[in-house]
Structure 1
């Protein structure tokens, strides 16, 4: 019989936006006081300047507070079978001490969310994602000997990203960190703190994510901050991170696609084949999984309606919220994320297009941009071409050991 536990939530109406355990340090560093709501937490959008924070990601070490990322502990004799039933990839192939990027669907094969699945042992997992799905997980766990609990408030997390990140962690006492391969997990004791580190991140660069008990958060911050003083360590907000993730070609739930559970209109939901996640659909894995029949039929019958593509756009005006046209006349889709890329010196974007555009029809693409200049919008129709993702790729992301500094 399933052992299910639902943590009682704090009373949100008494505290509309919570502060993460790292907030005292971020508040002290903030010059803009630009905060935003991430999952009910007050999180930095920009601390000093977007440019300074972005270049810290690409040239030094950036610290980003990932505590609001929703975290679920999944453990018990049937933990592997449950995770395999829930997600698209073959969890049986995920070894202990490894992380798997994955997603999960409803019974109609529409994506509920994507995230990372951590496997600590044969019977202990952690699922990290953007949206809250506790009810879905508890319902899915019926019949499995597994305990599921949300532990978001219990665990504080920092993304430690950039070319000097490994060196900073070494200086902080994380001995052997340089031997970790991408998607490895390891537990360390540094500065008297128990820290779980994964070689993961959302920047497309060398980087790690460090997780501690909430009560040890400030001690971890201070340890890393002191170790990184000579290596350009910088606290960053989401604006800079969002630019880096776009360069890396990564997608964001409810930005590049709508979570199936929250979509108001059924036709706004997306399957993995429609958002570039077809590579993770393990239709041949031994265990059944949610949405398998629908996804098998979609692939066999070619009924996918849309495709997510990368675009290289003329000029230097970001095409945010723009429409995409074929031959400048027929509307075929829209931009989901766009920016001028400082590293690649390109005007890049992700776009959701109606098939066959972006699949068999890839020529003569145009983007309609409205640029605000001196309080007047100027309409521009500019050429675009479909390109491979990621827009930015650096060998240091996967180099083991990373280059020392």
Structure 2
């Protein structure tokens, strides 16, 4: 962590390298704590920040995301032992979505694995993983460094994101495929661009040395001034990730290494990530438990719900037609883009097949009076909001 001083522990909240730019824009002075960093929850209006990411371009400071650099002769064997998916399929210059488990097959976290170049990887995740990574690396010839503070990052998301970055001078970016990586010279250093994001829309993530963070922000916003560019806080980002059906650790599942009650944790099959479990691999952490679960069946099904009415079903119980408990909503919102009342939910098996109908027990307050609504809902297939531009190559030049 070359950008930390010996006195860093005296700082209770670490400022992002972009803080000099984000602080004046935060008219609401609405900040939160994200893994030791000061992070904007909202800048001006959550709804407007949401619509920027869906209609023009929203920019989110991604620097606090935990990052681990993994190198060495055994980097690939180590990662294949750690992850449930076949990591060798993630070629240099590509990014792969991954999940990793404990020995009981319960999810510790999910994240994105960047294959920067042959034998050099960076793992990005919501939760710090250095202890688990170092423990899992025993016996492997690998070097693992948490380099969160050494990489500044921005998520540039929305329909005009590609046009803005091209205007900034990133020629040929429109040909970058989803989950691809490209490198560009930038004022004496290197700017890495990945076609990744947490919004389920056309978008990119920019990665640079913190010493060039302010220059990157200035050039990005200068290029985007005619394209509706706007800063976006964490609350707006949470809305778009629900529309995309993306999981959030600590909200949609309990990280296994944080659990006091192990039965509250989930396996990849129980959070809709069974497609990331490659049981044909010879061995990985949790494989034996996941093979057994595959044989006997899972305890829970993770589903997407379309709910009648406009009362958000956050933290609601899901009931069957006889009003018996069958599950719990983990994330919910009224979706402006899908024009629907949507939710992610964990249901007890065997409930959760597409088309199954339930009742969402919704409580809401109006002028100090609480109301209870049993809103009909149904399990749907697919994603709530998935615009074609998300996967288009060449990317559209809005």
- What TM-score does the superposition give when structure 2 sets the normalisation length? 0.97
Aligned-pair CA distance for 1:133:
1.1
The answer to whether 1:399 aligns with 2:392 is yes
Q: Look up the match of 2:11.
A: 15
Q: For each residue in 1:306-337, what CA deviation from the matched residue of structure 2 results, as whole angstroms up to 9, or x when unmatched?
A: 11100000101111111110015101111100
The answer to whether 1:351 aligns with 2:345 is yes
Q: Look up the match of 1:54.
A: 50
For residues 4 and 226 of structure 2, what CA distance do their matches in structure 1 show? 43
Aligned-pair CA distance for 1:357:
1.1
Aligned-pair CA distance for 1:241:
0.8
For residues 32 and 336 of structure 1, what CA distance do their matches in structure 2 show? 27
Q: Look up the match of 1:292.
A: 287
Q: Look up the match of 1:227.
A: 223
Give RMSD over aligned pairs.
1.7
The answer to whether 1:363 aligns with 2:359 is no
Give the one of 382, 387, 390 matched to 2:383.
390
Aligned-pair CA distance for 1:363:
3.3
Q: Look up the match of 1:319.
A: 313
For residues 84 and 194 of structure 1, what CA distance do their matches in structure 2 show? 29
Q: Look up the match of 2:374.
A: 381
Q: Look up the match of 2:40.
A: 44
Q: Look up the match of 2:207.
A: 211
Q: Look up the match of 1:277.
A: 273
Per the alignment, in what secondary structure is the counterpart of residue 267 of structure 1?
helix
Aligned-pair CA distance for 1:194:
1.5
Give the one of 137, 147, 156 matched to 2:143.
147
Give the one of 72, 76, 81 matched to 2:72.
76
For residues 167 and 331 of structure 1, what CA distance do their matches in structure 2 show? 48
Equivalent residues of 2:174, 2:396 under 8 A apart: no
| Runs of 5+ consecutive residues of structure 2 not aligned to the other structure | none
Per the alignment, in what secondary structure is the counterpart of residue 139 of structure 1?
helix
Q: For each residue in 1:248-297, what CA deviation from the matched residue of structure 2 results, as whole angstroms up to 9, or x when unmatched?
A: 11111111000000012111110000000000100102x41110111011
For residues 180 and 299 of structure 1, what CA distance do their matches in structure 2 show? 37
For residues 12 and 317 of structure 2, what CA distance do their matches in structure 1 show? 35
* CA gap 1:6/1:281 in 2 versus in 1, 3 angstroms: farther
Per the alignment, in what secondary structure is the counterpart of residue 343 of structure 2?
strand
Q: For each residue in 1:324-359, what CA deviation from the matched residue of structure 2 results, as whole angstroms up to 9, or x when unmatched?
A: 100151011111000000011100000111111114
Aligned-pair CA distance for 1:148:
0.3
Equivalent residues of 2:328, 2:347 under 8 A apart: yes
For residues 258 and 62 of structure 1, what CA distance do their matches in structure 2 show? 29
Q: Look up the match of 1:103.
A: 99
* CA gap 1:6/1:229 in 2 versus in 1, 3 angstroms: closer
The answer to whether 1:333 aligns with 2:327 is yes
Give the one of 261, 267, 279 matched to 1:265.
261
Matches within 5 A, 1:124-139: 124-139=120-135
Aligned residues: 398
Give 4+ residue runs of structure 1 displaced > 6 Å after superposition: 5-12
| Runs of 5+ consecutive residues of structure 1 not aligned to the other structure | none
Per the alignment, in what secondary structure is the counterpart of residue 231 of structure 1?
coil
Give the one of 174, 178, 182 matched to 2:178.
182
For residues 260 and 253 of structure 2, what CA distance do their matches in structure 1 show? 13
Per the alignment, in what secondary structure is the counterpart of residue 196 of structure 1?
strand
Aligned-pair CA distance for 1:11:
6.4
